[in-house]
Structure 1
Amino acid sequence: MRSAGPVGTAEHPGVAVLTLPNALSALRVLLVPVFAALILTGHDLWALAVLAASGASDWLDGRLARRWQQVTRLGQVLDPAADRLFILAALLGMALRDLVPWWLVAVVVGRDLLLLALGPPLARMGHGPLPVSDLGKAATFALLYAFPLILLSSVGGPVGAVARPLGWAFALWGACLYWWAGLRYAAQVRALLRARDAQRAASPGAAS
Protein backbone atom coordinates (compact mmCIF):
# COMPACT_ATOMS: atom_id res chain seq x y z
CA MET A 1 0.00 0.00 0.00
CA ARG A 2 1.30 3.46 -0.82
CA SER A 3 0.86 6.36 1.51
CA ALA A 4 0.13 9.95 0.55
CA GLY A 5 3.58 11.42 0.91
CA PRO A 6 6.95 10.29 2.18
CA VAL A 7 7.11 7.73 4.90
CA GLY A 8 9.89 6.91 7.32
CA THR A 9 11.52 4.01 9.01
CA ALA A 10 11.25 3.17 12.68
CA GLU A 11 14.52 5.04 13.26
CA HIS A 12 13.62 8.07 11.14
CA PRO A 13 9.86 8.60 11.16
CA GLY A 14 8.50 10.41 8.14
CA VAL A 15 5.78 13.00 7.74
CA ALA A 16 3.01 10.99 6.07
CA VAL A 17 -0.26 10.76 7.95
CA LEU A 18 -2.63 9.06 5.48
CA THR A 19 -1.59 5.49 6.16
CA LEU A 20 -3.54 2.41 7.17
CA PRO A 21 -1.63 2.02 10.48
CA ASN A 22 -2.50 5.61 11.42
CA ALA A 23 -6.13 5.03 10.43
CA LEU A 24 -6.26 2.00 12.73
CA SER A 25 -4.75 4.05 15.57
CA ALA A 26 -7.31 6.81 14.98
CA LEU A 27 -10.10 4.22 15.00
CA ARG A 28 -8.90 3.01 18.41
CA VAL A 29 -9.18 6.56 19.75
CA LEU A 30 -12.73 6.84 18.35
CA LEU A 31 -13.68 3.58 20.07
CA VAL A 32 -12.83 4.97 23.52
CA PRO A 33 -16.17 6.80 24.10
CA VAL A 34 -18.03 3.71 22.84
CA PHE A 35 -16.10 1.57 25.31
CA ALA A 36 -16.78 4.05 28.14
CA ALA A 37 -20.51 4.14 27.41
CA LEU A 38 -20.72 0.34 27.38
CA ILE A 39 -18.99 0.07 30.77
CA LEU A 40 -21.13 2.78 32.36
CA THR A 41 -24.34 1.14 31.15
CA GLY A 42 -23.31 -2.31 32.34
CA HIS A 43 -22.88 -3.89 28.90
CA ASP A 44 -19.71 -5.64 30.02
CA LEU A 45 -19.54 -8.31 27.33
CA TRP A 46 -19.79 -5.70 24.57
CA ALA A 47 -17.20 -3.58 26.38
CA LEU A 48 -14.88 -6.60 26.45
CA ALA A 49 -15.47 -7.13 22.73
CA VAL A 50 -14.53 -3.51 21.98
CA LEU A 51 -11.43 -3.83 24.16
CA ALA A 52 -10.44 -7.04 22.37
CA ALA A 53 -10.92 -5.36 18.97
CA SER A 54 -8.79 -2.44 20.15
CA GLY A 55 -6.05 -4.81 21.29
CA ALA A 56 -6.08 -6.62 17.94
CA SER A 57 -5.88 -3.34 16.00
CA ASP A 58 -3.06 -2.17 18.28
CA TRP A 59 -1.02 -5.24 17.37
CA LEU A 60 -1.94 -4.94 13.68
CA ASP A 61 -1.16 -1.26 13.20
CA GLY A 62 2.28 -1.66 14.81
CA ARG A 63 3.08 -4.68 12.69
CA LEU A 64 1.94 -3.04 9.45
CA ALA A 65 3.74 0.22 10.22
CA ARG A 66 7.05 -1.60 10.68
CA ARG A 67 6.54 -3.97 7.75
CA TRP A 68 5.55 -1.22 5.31
CA GLN A 69 8.01 1.32 6.79
CA GLN A 70 5.15 3.67 7.64
CA VAL A 71 6.19 4.61 11.15
CA THR A 72 5.21 8.28 11.57
CA ARG A 73 5.27 10.89 14.31
CA LEU A 74 1.47 10.94 14.31
CA GLY A 75 1.33 7.19 14.80
CA GLN A 76 3.84 7.38 17.64
CA VAL A 77 1.54 9.87 19.39
CA LEU A 78 -1.82 8.25 18.58
CA ASP A 79 -0.87 4.73 19.64
CA PRO A 80 0.09 5.42 23.28
CA ALA A 81 -2.67 8.05 23.50
CA ALA A 82 -5.27 5.41 22.61
CA ASP A 83 -3.85 3.05 25.25
CA ARG A 84 -3.97 5.73 27.95
CA LEU A 85 -7.50 6.77 27.02
CA PHE A 86 -8.71 3.16 27.19
CA ILE A 87 -7.03 2.76 30.59
CA LEU A 88 -8.61 5.99 31.85
CA ALA A 89 -12.06 5.09 30.50
CA ALA A 90 -11.90 1.62 32.05
CA LEU A 91 -10.72 2.96 35.41
CA LEU A 92 -13.32 5.71 35.66
CA GLY A 93 -16.14 3.48 34.47
CA MET A 94 -15.31 0.71 36.92
CA ALA A 95 -14.71 3.15 39.79
CA LEU A 96 -18.14 4.69 39.22
CA ARG A 97 -19.61 1.19 39.42
CA ASP A 98 -17.57 0.41 42.57
CA LEU A 99 -15.63 -2.36 40.82
CA VAL A 100 -12.27 -0.72 41.63
CA PRO A 101 -11.36 1.75 44.40
CA TRP A 102 -10.72 5.41 43.63
CA TRP A 103 -7.17 5.17 44.97
CA LEU A 104 -6.28 3.04 41.95
CA VAL A 105 -7.64 5.78 39.69
CA ALA A 106 -5.51 8.34 41.55
CA VAL A 107 -2.37 6.19 41.22
CA VAL A 108 -2.70 5.70 37.47
CA VAL A 109 -3.92 9.21 36.66
CA GLY A 110 -1.21 10.72 38.87
CA ARG A 111 1.46 9.04 36.76
CA ASP A 112 -0.08 10.41 33.56
CA LEU A 113 -0.18 13.90 35.09
CA LEU A 114 3.54 13.53 35.81
CA LEU A 115 4.22 12.80 32.14
CA LEU A 116 1.98 15.69 31.11
CA ALA A 117 4.04 18.04 33.29
CA LEU A 118 7.22 16.90 31.53
CA GLY A 119 5.86 17.91 28.13
CA PRO A 120 6.56 21.69 28.34
CA PRO A 121 10.28 21.27 29.24
CA LEU A 122 10.72 18.93 26.29
CA ALA A 123 8.89 21.35 24.00
CA ARG A 124 11.09 24.24 25.12
CA MET A 125 14.12 22.20 24.09
CA GLY A 126 12.53 21.54 20.72
CA HIS A 127 12.35 17.85 21.62
CA GLY A 128 9.37 15.72 20.72
CA PRO A 129 7.84 13.08 23.01
CA LEU A 130 10.32 10.44 24.09
CA PRO A 131 9.68 6.97 22.66
CA VAL A 132 7.68 4.53 24.74
CA SER A 133 10.04 2.20 26.60
CA ASP A 134 9.68 -1.57 26.84
CA LEU A 135 8.93 -1.08 30.53
CA GLY A 136 6.11 1.31 29.67
CA LYS A 137 4.74 -1.15 27.13
CA ALA A 138 4.80 -3.93 29.74
CA ALA A 139 2.94 -1.70 32.21
CA THR A 140 0.28 -0.82 29.65
CA PHE A 141 -0.04 -4.48 28.66
CA ALA A 142 -0.58 -5.47 32.31
CA LEU A 143 -3.22 -2.78 32.91
CA LEU A 144 -5.10 -3.57 29.70
CA TYR A 145 -5.22 -7.22 30.77
CA ALA A 146 -6.29 -6.33 34.30
CA PHE A 147 -9.48 -4.48 33.45
CA PRO A 148 -11.20 -7.20 31.37
CA LEU A 149 -10.43 -9.70 34.14
CA ILE A 150 -11.82 -7.38 36.82
CA LEU A 151 -14.93 -6.87 34.70
CA LEU A 152 -15.31 -10.64 34.37
CA SER A 153 -15.08 -10.98 38.14
CA SER A 154 -18.40 -9.14 38.42
CA VAL A 155 -20.26 -12.05 36.81
CA GLY A 156 -19.62 -14.25 39.84
CA GLY A 157 -19.39 -18.03 39.83
CA PRO A 158 -16.24 -20.01 38.99
CA VAL A 159 -15.27 -17.55 36.22
CA GLY A 160 -15.47 -14.58 38.56
CA ALA A 161 -13.61 -16.42 41.30
CA VAL A 162 -10.65 -17.05 38.97
CA ALA A 163 -10.79 -13.70 37.16
CA ARG A 164 -10.75 -11.52 40.30
CA PRO A 165 -7.30 -12.48 41.74
CA LEU A 166 -5.77 -12.57 38.26
CA GLY A 167 -7.22 -9.16 37.43
CA TRP A 168 -5.92 -7.59 40.63
CA ALA A 169 -2.51 -9.17 40.17
CA PHE A 170 -2.24 -7.57 36.73
CA ALA A 171 -3.62 -4.28 38.08
CA LEU A 172 -1.14 -3.97 40.95
CA TRP A 173 1.85 -5.07 38.89
CA GLY A 174 0.75 -2.79 36.07
CA ALA A 175 0.39 0.22 38.39
CA CYS A 176 3.88 -0.37 39.84
CA LEU A 177 5.44 -0.77 36.41
CA TYR A 178 3.50 2.27 35.17
CA TRP A 179 5.11 4.46 37.82
CA TRP A 180 8.52 2.88 37.35
CA ALA A 181 8.37 3.69 33.63
CA GLY A 182 7.16 7.21 34.43
CA LEU A 183 10.03 7.88 36.83
CA ARG A 184 12.54 6.60 34.27
CA TYR A 185 10.95 8.93 31.72
CA ALA A 186 11.35 11.83 34.17
CA ALA A 187 15.01 10.88 34.67
CA GLN A 188 15.53 10.98 30.89
CA VAL A 189 14.03 14.46 30.70
CA ARG A 190 16.23 15.60 33.59
CA ALA A 191 19.32 14.23 31.83
CA LEU A 192 18.37 16.10 28.64
CA LEU A 193 17.94 19.35 30.59
CA ARG A 194 21.32 18.89 32.28
CA ALA A 195 23.00 18.18 28.95
CA ARG A 196 21.44 21.32 27.46
CA ASP A 197 22.59 23.44 30.41
CA ALA A 198 26.11 22.01 30.21
CA GLN A 199 26.24 22.73 26.48
CA ARG A 200 25.14 26.30 27.06
CA ALA A 201 27.75 26.78 29.78
CA ALA A 202 30.49 25.44 27.51
CA SER A 203 29.47 27.46 24.45
CA PRO A 204 31.49 30.57 23.44
CA GLY A 205 30.19 33.73 25.04
CA ALA A 206 28.79 31.94 28.09
CA ALA A 207 29.09 33.82 31.32
CA SER A 208 32.24 32.86 33.22
Structure 2
Amino acid sequence: MRSLYFRWLPNFITIGRFVLTPAAIDMIVTENWPAAFGVFVLAGASDALDGWLAKRFDLRTELGALLDPLADKALIVSIYATLALVGVLPSWLALLVISRDVLIIGAVAVSWLLQRRIDLSPLPVSKATTAAQLALAALVLATRAFAFPLDEAVLTLSVAVSALTVVSAAVYLWRWIRNMGP
Protein backbone atom coordinates (compact mmCIF):
# COMPACT_ATOMS: atom_id res chain seq x y z
CA MET A 1 0.00 0.00 0.00
CA ARG A 2 1.36 3.39 -0.98
CA SER A 3 1.85 5.90 1.78
CA LEU A 4 -0.58 8.79 1.96
CA TYR A 5 2.27 11.23 1.30
CA PHE A 6 3.31 9.47 -1.89
CA ARG A 7 -0.31 9.27 -3.02
CA TRP A 8 -0.63 13.04 -2.75
CA LEU A 9 2.83 13.88 -4.12
CA PRO A 10 1.56 15.10 -7.52
CA ASN A 11 -0.90 17.41 -5.75
CA PHE A 12 1.85 18.79 -3.49
CA ILE A 13 3.97 19.49 -6.58
CA THR A 14 1.03 21.24 -8.23
CA ILE A 15 0.51 23.39 -5.14
CA GLY A 16 4.20 24.23 -5.36
CA ARG A 17 3.55 25.63 -8.84
CA PHE A 18 0.99 27.99 -7.31
CA VAL A 19 3.69 29.14 -4.87
CA LEU A 20 6.30 29.60 -7.61
CA THR A 21 4.01 31.81 -9.70
CA PRO A 22 4.14 34.93 -7.50
CA ALA A 23 7.88 34.43 -7.05
CA ALA A 24 8.37 34.49 -10.83
CA ILE A 25 6.18 37.58 -11.12
CA ASP A 26 8.21 39.41 -8.48
CA MET A 27 11.44 38.51 -10.26
CA ILE A 28 10.09 39.80 -13.58
CA VAL A 29 8.90 43.07 -12.03
CA THR A 30 12.29 43.59 -10.36
CA GLU A 31 14.00 42.59 -13.63
CA ASN A 32 15.89 39.74 -12.02
CA TRP A 33 15.72 37.89 -15.33
CA PRO A 34 18.01 34.92 -14.57
CA ALA A 35 16.07 34.10 -11.41
CA ALA A 36 12.73 34.64 -13.19
CA PHE A 37 13.84 32.25 -15.93
CA GLY A 38 14.99 29.66 -13.39
CA VAL A 39 11.78 29.81 -11.36
CA PHE A 40 9.68 29.66 -14.52
CA VAL A 41 11.59 26.61 -15.79
CA LEU A 42 11.20 24.98 -12.39
CA ALA A 43 7.45 25.65 -12.47
CA GLY A 44 7.23 24.19 -15.98
CA ALA A 45 9.22 21.14 -14.95
CA SER A 46 6.91 20.67 -11.97
CA ASP A 47 3.98 20.50 -14.39
CA ALA A 48 5.66 17.71 -16.32
CA LEU A 49 6.71 15.90 -13.15
CA ASP A 50 3.33 15.93 -11.42
CA GLY A 51 1.63 14.67 -14.57
CA TRP A 52 4.19 11.92 -15.06
CA LEU A 53 3.94 10.78 -11.43
CA ALA A 54 0.14 10.78 -11.52
CA LYS A 55 0.03 8.66 -14.69
CA ARG A 56 3.03 6.42 -14.06
CA PHE A 57 2.07 5.43 -10.53
CA ASP A 58 -1.70 5.83 -10.89
CA LEU A 59 -1.79 8.69 -8.41
CA ARG A 60 -4.56 10.63 -10.14
CA THR A 61 -7.10 12.32 -7.89
CA GLU A 62 -10.15 14.49 -8.46
CA LEU A 63 -8.39 17.32 -6.65
CA GLY A 64 -5.37 16.97 -8.92
CA ALA A 65 -7.60 16.99 -12.00
CA LEU A 66 -8.90 20.39 -10.87
CA LEU A 67 -5.70 21.88 -9.44
CA ASP A 68 -3.33 21.04 -12.30
CA PRO A 69 -5.08 23.03 -15.04
CA LEU A 70 -5.74 25.88 -12.59
CA ALA A 71 -2.04 26.00 -11.70
CA ASP A 72 -1.18 26.05 -15.41
CA LYS A 73 -3.62 28.87 -16.05
CA ALA A 74 -2.43 30.85 -13.02
CA LEU A 75 1.18 30.54 -14.18
CA ILE A 76 0.52 31.40 -17.82
CA VAL A 77 -1.92 34.25 -17.17
CA SER A 78 0.33 35.77 -14.51
CA ILE A 79 3.49 35.53 -16.58
CA TYR A 80 1.90 36.92 -19.75
CA ALA A 81 0.22 39.78 -17.87
CA THR A 82 3.46 40.66 -16.09
CA LEU A 83 5.60 40.44 -19.23
CA ALA A 84 3.13 42.75 -20.97
CA LEU A 85 3.07 45.17 -18.03
CA VAL A 86 6.86 45.50 -18.06
CA GLY A 87 6.79 45.99 -21.85
CA VAL A 88 8.50 42.75 -22.86
CA LEU A 89 5.49 41.20 -24.62
CA PRO A 90 2.86 43.06 -26.61
CA SER A 91 -0.32 43.75 -24.63
CA TRP A 92 -2.53 42.33 -27.37
CA LEU A 93 -0.81 38.94 -27.07
CA ALA A 94 -1.21 38.88 -23.29
CA LEU A 95 -4.87 39.85 -23.64
CA LEU A 96 -5.42 37.09 -26.19
CA VAL A 97 -3.85 34.45 -23.96
CA ILE A 98 -5.70 35.70 -20.87
CA SER A 99 -9.02 35.97 -22.71
CA ARG A 100 -8.83 32.33 -23.80
CA ASP A 101 -8.29 31.16 -20.25
CA VAL A 102 -11.07 33.42 -18.92
CA LEU A 103 -13.37 32.01 -21.63
CA ILE A 104 -12.58 28.43 -20.61
CA ILE A 105 -12.94 29.07 -16.88
CA GLY A 106 -16.13 31.06 -17.45
CA ALA A 107 -17.65 28.29 -19.57
CA VAL A 108 -16.85 25.70 -16.92
CA ALA A 109 -18.35 27.93 -14.21
CA VAL A 110 -21.56 28.50 -16.20
CA SER A 111 -21.84 24.78 -16.89
CA TRP A 112 -21.37 24.04 -13.21
CA LEU A 113 -23.92 26.70 -12.15
CA LEU A 114 -26.47 25.29 -14.60
CA GLN A 115 -25.63 21.78 -13.40
CA ARG A 116 -24.60 20.68 -16.88
CA ARG A 117 -21.86 18.10 -16.85
CA ILE A 118 -18.91 19.09 -19.03
CA ASP A 119 -15.94 17.03 -20.11
CA LEU A 120 -12.83 18.71 -18.70
CA SER A 121 -10.29 16.51 -20.43
CA PRO A 122 -7.77 18.60 -22.37
CA LEU A 123 -7.91 18.51 -26.13
CA PRO A 124 -4.77 18.00 -28.25
CA VAL A 125 -5.03 21.58 -29.54
CA SER A 126 -5.18 22.77 -25.93
CA LYS A 127 -2.06 20.83 -25.00
CA ALA A 128 -0.26 22.26 -28.05
CA THR A 129 -1.42 25.77 -27.13
CA THR A 130 -0.23 25.45 -23.54
CA ALA A 131 3.12 24.03 -24.67
CA ALA A 132 3.60 26.88 -27.17
CA GLN A 133 2.59 29.49 -24.58
CA LEU A 134 5.04 28.06 -22.06
CA ALA A 135 7.79 27.84 -24.70
CA LEU A 136 7.28 31.48 -25.71
CA ALA A 137 7.39 32.67 -22.10
CA ALA A 138 10.55 30.63 -21.48
CA LEU A 139 12.15 31.97 -24.67
CA VAL A 140 11.31 35.58 -23.77
CA LEU A 141 12.67 35.11 -20.25
CA ALA A 142 15.81 33.43 -21.64
CA THR A 143 16.44 36.31 -24.06
CA ARG A 144 16.33 38.70 -21.11
CA ALA A 145 18.27 36.49 -18.70
CA PHE A 146 21.10 35.59 -21.05
CA ALA A 147 20.98 38.40 -23.66
CA PHE A 148 20.25 35.94 -26.46
CA PRO A 149 19.49 37.76 -29.74
CA LEU A 150 16.42 35.69 -30.60
CA ASP A 151 14.00 38.38 -31.77
CA GLU A 152 13.02 36.46 -34.91
CA ALA A 153 12.37 33.27 -32.92
CA VAL A 154 10.25 35.23 -30.45
CA LEU A 155 8.28 36.79 -33.30
CA THR A 156 7.74 33.42 -35.01
CA LEU A 157 6.67 31.74 -31.79
CA SER A 158 4.40 34.70 -30.98
CA VAL A 159 2.57 34.17 -34.26
CA ALA A 160 2.24 30.45 -33.52
CA VAL A 161 0.97 31.15 -29.99
CA SER A 162 -1.56 33.63 -31.35
CA ALA A 163 -2.88 31.19 -33.95
CA LEU A 164 -3.03 28.25 -31.54
CA THR A 165 -4.71 30.37 -28.88
CA VAL A 166 -7.44 31.50 -31.27
CA VAL A 167 -8.00 27.98 -32.63
CA SER A 168 -8.04 26.48 -29.15
CA ALA A 169 -10.53 29.08 -27.89
CA ALA A 170 -12.78 28.43 -30.90
CA VAL A 171 -12.67 24.66 -30.37
CA TYR A 172 -13.49 24.99 -26.67
CA LEU A 173 -16.29 27.44 -27.42
CA TRP A 174 -17.75 25.08 -30.03
CA ARG A 175 -17.47 22.14 -27.62
CA TRP A 176 -19.15 24.16 -24.88
CA ILE A 177 -22.01 25.33 -27.12
CA ARG A 178 -22.67 21.72 -28.17
CA ASN A 179 -22.62 20.66 -24.51
CA MET A 180 -25.06 23.39 -23.49
CA GLY A 181 -27.51 22.63 -26.30
CA PRO A 182 -30.71 20.63 -25.81
* Same fold (TM > 0.5): yes
**What CA distance in whole angstroms lies between the structure 2 residues aligned with 1:172 and 1:43?**
27
Q: Quick one: which of 48, 70, 73 aligns to 1:81?
A: 70
1:97 alignment partner in structure 2: 86
Question: C-alpha displacement at 1:193, in angstroms?
Answer: 2.0
**What CA distance in whole angstroms lies between the structure 1 residues aligned with 2:23 and 2:68?**
17
1:177 equivalent to 2:167? Answer no
Q: Contact conserved, 2:34 with 2:146, CA < 8 A, in 1?
A: no
Question: C-alpha displacement at 1:81, in angstroms?
Answer: 1.6
Q: Contact conserved, 1:35 with 1:51, CA < 8 A, in 2?
A: yes
**Structure 1: runs of 5 or more not aligned:** 5-17, 198-208
Which amino acid counterpart does residue 122 of structure 2 have in structure 1? Answer: V
Q: Quick one: which of 148, 154, 167 aligns to 1:167?
A: 154
**What CA distance in whole angstroms lies between the structure 2 residues aligned with 1:60 and 1:155?**
24
**Structure 2: runs of 5 or more not aligned:** none
**What CA distance in whole angstroms lies between the structure 2 residues aligned with 1:67 and 1:193?**
34
Higher RCO (CA 8 Å, separation ≥ 6 residues): 2
**Going by fraction, where is helix more abundant, 1 or 2?**
2
**What CA distance in whole angstroms lies between the structure 2 residues aligned with 1:175 and 1:3?**
43
1:143 alignment partner in structure 2: 133
Which amino acid counterpart does residue 132 of structure 2 have in structure 1? Answer: A
Q: Quick one: which of 170, 174, 182 aligns to 1:187?
A: 174
- Bigger Rg, structure 1 or 2: 1
**What CA distance in whole angstroms lies between the structure 2 residues aligned with 1:70 and 1:44?**
35
**What CA distance in whole angstroms lies between the structure 2 residues aligned with 1:154 and 1:66?**
35
For this pair of structures, how many residues does the alignment match? 181
**What CA distance in whole angstroms lies between the structure 1 residues aligned with 2:153 and 2:139?**
7
SS in 2 for 1:166: helix
**What CA distance in whole angstroms lies between the structure 1 residues aligned with 2:81 and 2:2?**
39
Q: CA RMSD in A?
A: 2.3
Question: C-alpha displacement at 1:108, in angstroms?
Answer: 1.3
1:40 alignment partner in structure 2: 29
Greater shift, 69-78 or 136-145, is seen at 69-78
Q: TM-score, normalised by structure 1?
A: 0.78
Q: Deviations over 1:125-149 (max 9, x none)?
A: 3425621111111111111111222
